[in-house]
Amino acid sequence: MLRVVRSAIIDAPVARVWEVLRDFNSHTEWHPAIAHSQIEGGEPSDRVGCVRSFVLRDGARVREQLLTLSDRDWRMTYCILEADVPLQRYVATVQLREVTDGARSFWQWTSTFGAPPGREAELTRLVGVDVYEAGMRGVARLFS
Footprint of other proteins (CB under 8 A): 5-9, 97-102, 104, 106, 108, 133, 136
Q: Give dist(CA 65, CA 79) in Å, integer.
A: 5
**Nearer residue to other proteins within complex by CB, 48 or 99:** 99
From the CB of 100, what's the least distance to other proteins, in Å? 5
From the CB of 8, what's the least distance to other proteins, in Å? 4
The tally of CA atoms less than 13 A away on the side-chain side of residue 11 is 7
**Nearer residue to other proteins within complex by CB, 10 or 80:** 10
**Nearer residue to other proteins within complex by CB, 55 or 140:** 140
Nearest partner of 39 among 59, 66, 12, judged by Cα: 66
Task: 43-52: list long-range contacts, CB under 8 Å, 24+ apart.
Answer: 46/22, 50/24, 51/81, 52/24, 52/25, 52/27
The answer for residues whose C-beta is within 8 angstroms of residue 45's C-beta and 6 or more apart is 23, 24, 25, 26, 39, 52
Q: Which residues pair with 125 in a beta bridge?
A: none
From the CB of 5, what's the least distance to other proteins, in Å? 7
From the CB of 137, what's the least distance to other proteins, in Å? 9
Q: Give dist(CA 80, CA 64) in Å, integer.
A: 4
